[in-house]
Structure 1
Amino acid sequence: MATARTAFRLALISSTMLAALASPALAQTVAAPATAAAAEDVGDDIVVTAQRRAERVQDIPLSVSAISGDALKNAAVTDVERIEQLVPGVRFGRSGAALRPAIRGTYTENVAVNGDPRIGIYVDDIYQSRTQQIPPIVDLDRVEVQKGPQGTLYGRNSFGGNIAFNSALPKNEFAAGIDALYGRYNHIRGEAFVNLPISDGVALRIAGMGEQSDGYIRNRNPNGNDAGDNDQAFVRGTLRIAPSNIEGLEVLLRGSYLWQGGNGIYGFGYKEVGVLVDRDLIRQPGGSITRNGVTYNFPNGFNGQSWTGTPLNVDSRYRDGIPDVNGVDVGIPVDADPYVIDFAGKTFRRTRQHQWGGTISYDVGAVKLRSITSYTDFNNLVTGNSLTPVQLNFSYIRTRAKTFTQEVQLLSSDTTSPFQYIVGGYYYNDNITEHNVTNVNRAYNTVGAPAGQKLYNWGFTALPTLANGTTVGNIDQTFAYDSLTAYQQKIKSLAAYGQLSYTFAEKLTVTGGIRYTSDRKTQLSSRFNTFPGSSPLYYAHSIDDPINYTCGGLIAANSASNAPASAIASAYNFVCNNLTQDFVTWRAAVDYKFSRDHMIYASVSTGAHSGGFNTGVVNIGGVNTLLAFAPEYVTAYEIGTKNTLLDGKLTLNAAAFLNNFRDLQAQTSIPNPANPAAVLALVQNIGKDRAYGVDLEMVARPTPNLTFNLAFNWLHAREIEYAVNTFNFGGIASFCSTTVTPDCNLSTGEQNTVQGTPFPNVRTDPNRFVPVVAPDGSQVTVGGVPQWRYVIAGKGRDGTVYQSRKAFQPDYTVQVGIAYRIDMGDAGSLTPEVQTYFSSDYILTDLTPDFGNQKAFTRTDLRLTWRSADERFRIQAFVNNIEDTAVITRAVYASNRTLQASFAIPRTYGVQAGFKF
């Protein structure tokens, strides 16, 4: 902690010193101050680069929302997730260090090493390859949210759209500023910048930030720590070279460093919420259940878990001897407060990122040449505990990414010409490694554990079945070894693209674009080779043990392992595979400008999200390999209009869209290529979705001092085809008598159940269980048990069509804001503001549409800002989320069938002040 505080203080002191370079005389050279930030952001002349060139947002035939850096600062946006409060049509899910944005019917789901984001994150034209690379909000010029696929000009993995962060550029005049914030949870943040003109056409801009706060998630366990804290420092330098003696040349050189410590939202930031339970199915020992003409006997009782049940706020992994429902003890109640946990194990994070970029633009008259080069070195270590009151294990996830990109562009530079074009090439080289270690607490004693803190399995017995039916020193041998997984993914991608447009009679513009992409991926996955054998022996691993990422290379276990030396030396090896996937994306659009203030447009575009490999190893013909999945695609249709009315006092934009998604990557069951009589649960291209809706945005400025904004989004996002794999958890027999009776015969298929819960099964709900079919058309049978998929969306066995809602996609959202500037003459101005956001309910996971729903909610921000007469100094008091609404940003259905959820920050309040020299 001392180190973290020192880093924070150094960052804050350094930033303050930079800002202090300003003198009163120099400060007079700064351009006239802007108007209130709330009005700056909505002006119709805001410039964006969504089409890779600077254009007014009102001139481009795309759905783009932009918010200025001043507006972000005014709204106390210090974290990416709060952008959804200001920008319509985008939501930010989050789990631990991973960002999961959602736009127009799609969102980023797979954040592991073998997955790529579905929505591109760009920082100063640099693509961020990992979802953990969350950009700091520091000295930004603007943030653009580009909605819908951007597959032509941006390419790979701009499948659902882009979120582009653009830092402020150096200017040829002195400027500096400093901002400080103090808020709830001892949130302290200092930010500063200085802009230094060095010589004619050469300027340097340096910005820095230091931040600390306590965790907003309270851990009541004395052996754990709070979560949701901030402990980070960031610095960025930008050098602009545009010498006057070389007309048309501009060179931008950037470098940044980010450090994060503390705890953050540990591991994946989850809290146990509860379990799906059908209260009518709960039985005391000796009870029975009859469903669809079949009777199931439960000599040990049954806790009622059912995939189609309703939420019950208990942790089903433990029981405390107290009856919960129907006189049955089904678990330990979890704290209803979303911001209180009871987890043993002190977690931490360590993040470091260096990023360098260079952009060279040279306008030679008729054309402009541009080169964009970047290199990123990202290193992220997060930890997690077992999410239990006693520490059963402790996990480490280390992600490293080294990414080089090079892009070259040739653009038309004569903006008065009816013919405009951009052609370019793109090279992407990414080397990602991920190393996961879970260390088991071998001192956990099931006999001596306190009441209510003893493991028991998901049936209704006291303790889980042990690995060999015994204990060793009262240590539960179900956890007799540490787990290790290690992966590497290397990507080399080449792309060529072009977009042309022609304007007829200065009114009608036709645009067409195409992009060709070739991805080559190589993946290494660790494979467990041997097992020590007898139960008292185990493997041990450390997150710091060296890893040799080579095909066939061995990963030795740690010398602390209690296993034979030969087994320790050859515990794991790497299996690898490679592929090349080519795809083409394109765009066609037409727009008609009635005048500078009125435009209508229509477009059709496509996007692709790259394929990859499953991490699980499959043996085919005696050869270990990794099975691939293909890219997924979207075709998007959009019509819209952009209007500036009443001499600029009213901006009104509207768009209607339809997105058809196909070949979606999802986990399902397929016949094993090595043995068609068996099945594998793998990611394959089996999904189809559809999303359509309407976006409306309005900003009214009836007087220079009054600003009113309104945004409305309607979205109908549904899964059309989606049949998931079923789980073999011992089937219904584990809930019946120890002697298998005809009613519990495994050959009936009850062994295949959804997420491992016994209900529903093939006999209680036969229509939604469809057979897994072998290449010869026969149903795959494993050990005499027919294999099935469960239809979440698509056709059932009798032809019934099912649809399901799409995760993170509310049907309606509404944003309303109002700001009124009260002019107080020489005493400055006072601006009260209200910004409110309403969202209808939505589901959190596609697998559990009836569990984990986020209820409809409203979040309102209030702020009161005083600005000096010259608007160089401001002080603001604010309250964010005045309703104190707890919003789930991410949820998963864990292996023990309980829901785990992450929650966004609750109500915050504080003061912030800023001064510009």
Structure 2
Amino acid sequence: MASAQNHTMRLSALAAAIALPFTVGSHHTQADQQLRLEEILVTAQKRTELAQDIPSTMNVIDGDALKDFNVTTFDDLGALSAGLRIDSQTSRSGRIVMRGIDYNPNSASEASVTTYWNEAILDSNAIFQQMFDVERVVVLRGPQGTLQGRTSPAGSINIHTARPDLYEQTGQVKATVMDNDGINTQAAASFPVIPGKLAVRVAGVYDESDLDEIENIVTGEVSHEESTAGRLSVSWLPTDSLTVDFTAQYLERENDDVYALAGTPTGDPRLDPEAVLKELGEFDRRGALVGLDSTEDNTDADFLNTSLVVNWELDAHTITWVSGYHETDSVRNYDQSMGNANAENVRRVLTIDDRTDWSQELRLSSDEGEFWEYTVGLYYENADIFYSQENYQIPISPLAPGSNVVVFPGEAERLGLFTHNQFYLNDDWTLQVGVRYQEYDADRDISTVAGDNGFAFAGPGDLLVQVLSDEQQSYEDDAVTGQITLQYQLNTDVNLYGLVATGWRPGGVTVAGKVLPEDVLLFEPEDSTSYELGFKSTLMDGAVRLNGSLYFQDYEDYIARVNAINVREPSGDIGTSGITTNGDAEVYGAELDVTALLSQNWFIGGTLSYSDGEYADGTELPCNEFDDSGAPVIPDGEAVALCDEGGEPIGSAADWTASINSEYSVPFDRFEGYGRILYTYTGDRFSPQNLDVDPYHIVNLYVGIREEQWNIEVFATNLFDEEALRGAGGTEATQLVRRLPTGYGMRFPVPGRRIGLTASYNW
């Protein structure tokens, strides 16, 4: 215990020594021996502006920073921005949490943080893939109610891939190896076809590793992942006023997951006939189930992304057209019998996720108006979705080898009209007003049919249960959202702003793996209003940037997922399922970021975030209640029990988070040596399973040498091999096989220490 306390004290002292949180920033420039940070240009408001001039909270992570910290997957981004949690606890359940707003991808609701790829909308399942040859990532915080394609309540993330160079042939190769049998190889090259007019860029990546090396004690299987991707980008300037940028990317991924368990096996011979299961600790990183063909959870997925951006500059206006197409084909095959070593109890589940998305945006923007600048636009999106979950009977079931299939086909259309206006009231005051009208139409269905083998009473494909009634198979809604911002330039170095913004998410239906009452499955649309006060400043003659904000967000019918809830099924039996539901909620917090050049050779940066979200007084949500014997209790005539959750946390987001990075370099005759550190802190989190989810500190260290064209580096992530949990998937009593407790619960530990070597060459 003393050692752990000393370790925490050392890391706390490190954070205190840095004194302020800082942000991942761009390389510095030197003019007349004066330290000055490089200015960052972004298009967050659909026009090219300095990031420091935009009156809202945003983080820009440039391509150099992504390379510096070996960001190879989307999950890695979370370490570079406090208050942004990104993780994928299974191969198809990527989660993005921002400003305390949790989101469970199994909720079947729209994400609280929308994701874009070269300005085109991209669903969260597709975004959680490999990151390679990226120019920058822009993180916008708070409701996106005006200019973004969807009106997400918590924020948006836009990934911009590298564009071709119109004038020079350039390229890079980079290889990384790690001690988890990991290898990541990337290559990119840009070729001017017609110098100054037409250029092509090709890029690719191959990645393979044993992930966090979680091993199954029954089968010996070790977690493993393999990804391959290729990208083609084309930039064309047919005239001086017309630019065309097209990008297409194809990615294949195969993932074999093994889930870490903790607990003591019950010793029931029906679950463990050969007595091979044993006690597992939270950080043993071991799984325990017989699985399917020695595979616990396998996902094969293909993704196709395309983006076309056309800009036509007129005398005083710019017309922009953004067209996106996305296709996902994913098949997941897994065993639900967690903590089971009996091949006769394997419960196979097969899920298929096929999705195509089209999005179109056309907008007109005025250029350099003296008093008024405006943007008006039209947005259209169409999504075709087919999801199915085939639930196989266990081998010893009287119904074996039958299966039932939950089928969810759906089509959703969204139409939006928007305008954003910027009024320069005088030299010091600027007013921004934006509004968006949107219509959302969805056709959907949920039914259960017999699987390929059928049953004695039903042939393959025969309807077993119609879950969603005819009147609920169509859903229509519309909403008006917007933003008002007032900005005051205190002096040439400091801007103050205040804003009010609204967010909206449509209602929907929970897609459950079993038949549940219809009224339990439906959830209502969500509305929110956010208030923010902030400042942006450039200090010490451009050597320091300091930005901060305070915010409060009020939610009406906040959409959330509650897991493992006792539900009275239509048959009268009581089973457990996750449910998406609504409840009023409030979130408030603060954010601070700083970037600083301490000398010609010393850079430091990072972010600090605090957030607190809870349900409003009197909010009732589905819950679990039990009698004295431990049997679930649900009031007569009700499908679920309800409890007053007023004052309870709305999710598992940490209260305090920090991300601090620093680099110091030493020049030599022919090369430069450097050392780089990344420190992240994750504070207390709420766990619905009443498990201890303690704060933790992670330190990554990078040491290398570089020249203008090449770089060689050794690194260690989680240098001190910190043992902590990102989350948990149930207590020891909730992992059931044939209604028998196994003694195990799921755990999601932070990745252990990894040692690696990376080398790159540029031309």
For 1:408, which of 354, 362, 385 is the aligned residue?
362
Counterpart in the other structure of 1:204: 200
In structure 2, distance between residues paired with 1:115 and 1:78: 28
In structure 2, distance between residues paired with 1:425 and 1:407: 6
For 2:506, which of 592, 602, 610 is the aligned residue?
610
Contact 1:44 / 1:644 at 8 angstroms: preserved in 2?
Answer: no
Give the deviation of 1:332 after TM superposition: 6.3
Give the deviation of 1:681 after TM superposition: 9.2
For 1:688, which of 574, 584, 591 is the aligned residue?
584
- Equivalences for 1:50-61 in 2 at 5 Å? 50-61=44-55
Counterpart in the other structure of 2:552: 658
Contact 2:302 / 2:328 at 8 angstroms: preserved in 1?
Answer: yes
For 1:752, which of 605, 629, 633 is the aligned residue?
633
Contact 2:270 / 2:342 at 8 angstroms: preserved in 1?
Answer: no
For 1:833, which of 676, 684, 694 is the aligned residue?
676
Amino acid at match of 1:248: S
In structure 2, distance between residues paired with 1:682 and 1:703: 53
Counterpart in the other structure of 2:482: 586
- The residue matched to 2:365 in structure 1 has which SS? strand
Give the deviation of 1:814 after TM superposition: 2.4
In structure 2, distance between residues paired with 1:564 and 1:834: 64
Counterpart in the other structure of 1:520: 441
Counterpart in the other structure of 1:430: 383
Within the alignment, does 1:191 sit opposite 2:186 as a pair? yes
Contact 1:89 / 1:103 at 8 angstroms: preserved in 2?
Answer: yes
Counterpart in the other structure of 2:222: 226
Contact 1:107 / 1:119 at 8 angstroms: preserved in 2?
Answer: no
Give the deviation of 1:483 after TM superposition: 3.7
- Equivalences for 1:802-817 in 2 at 5 Å? 803-817=647-661
- The residue matched to 2:541 in structure 1 has which SS? coil
Give the deviation of 1:252 after TM superposition: 0.9
What is the aligned-residue identity percentage?
20
Distance 1:895 1:526, change over 3 A: farther
Within the alignment, does 1:382 sit opposite 2:332 as a pair? yes
Give the deviation of 1:365 after TM superposition: 1.7
In structure 2, distance between residues paired with 1:76 and 1:88: 18
Counterpart in the other structure of 1:491: 412
Contact 1:111 / 1:130 at 8 angstroms: preserved in 2?
Answer: no
In structure 1, distance between residues paired with 2:118 and 2:621: 39
For 2:403, which of 458, 479, 482 is the aligned residue?
482
For 1:724, which of 606, 618, 621 is the aligned residue?
621
Within the alignment, does 1:641 sit opposite 2:535 as a pair? yes
Give the deviation of 1:86 after TM superposition: 1.3
- The residue matched to 1:813 in structure 2 has which SS? strand
Distance 1:687 1:619, change over 3 A: closer
Within the alignment, does 1:394 sit opposite 2:348 as a pair? yes
Count of residues paired in the alignment: 702
In structure 1, distance between residues paired with 2:115 and 2:177: 29
Counterpart in the other structure of 2:456: 563
- More strand by percentage: 2
In structure 2, distance between residues paired with 1:680 and 1:818: 48
Distance 1:732 1:399, change over 3 A: same
Q: Which runs of 5+ in 1 are unaligned?
A: 1-34, 274-312, 323-330, 443-474, 528-554, 736-749, 754-779, 795-802
- The residue matched to 1:661 in structure 2 has which SS? strand
Q: Which runs of 5+ in 2 are unaligned?
A: 1-23, 30-35
For 1:820, which of 664, 675, 678 is the aligned residue?
664
For 1:182, which of 161, 177, 181 is the aligned residue?
177
Contact 1:94 / 1:902 at 8 angstroms: preserved in 2?
Answer: no
Contact 1:587 / 1:603 at 8 angstroms: preserved in 2?
Answer: yes
Counterpart in the other structure of 1:891: 728
Counterpart in the other structure of 1:506: 427
In structure 2, distance between residues paired with 1:680 and 1:821: 56
For 1:257, which of 250, 258, 269 is the aligned residue?
250
Within the alignment, does 1:272 sit opposite 2:261 as a pair? yes
Distance 1:840 1:45, change over 3 A: same
- Equivalences for 1:55-94 in 2 at 5 Å? 55-94=49-88
In structure 1, distance between residues paired with 2:613 and 2:639: 33
Contact 2:447 / 2:466 at 8 angstroms: preserved in 1?
Answer: yes
In structure 1, distance between residues paired with 2:271 and 2:289: 20
In structure 2, distance between residues paired with 1:788 and 1:564: 34
- The residue matched to 1:781 in structure 2 has which SS? coil
In structure 2, distance between residues paired with 1:226 and 1:671: 35
Counterpart in the other structure of 1:352: 302
Counterpart in the other structure of 1:300: none
For 2:104, which of 100, 103, 109 is the aligned residue?
109
Q: Relative contact order (alpha carbons < 8 A, sep ≥ 6): 1 or 2 greater?
A: 2
Counterpart in the other structure of 2:3: none
Deviations 1:231-257 (A, max 9, x none): 1111111111113xx221011111110
In structure 2, distance between residues paired with 1:786 and 1:614: 15
Distance 1:320 1:38, change over 3 A: farther
Superposition TM-score, scaled by structure 1 size: 0.71
Amino acid at match of 1:692: Y
Give the deviation of 1:806 after TM superposition: 3.5
In structure 1, distance between residues paired with 2:175 and 2:253: 19
Counterpart in the other structure of 1:862: 701
In structure 2, distance between residues paired with 1:152 and 1:504: 21
Deviations 1:359-385 (A, max 9, x none): 111010211001111111111112222
Counterpart in the other structure of 1:277: none
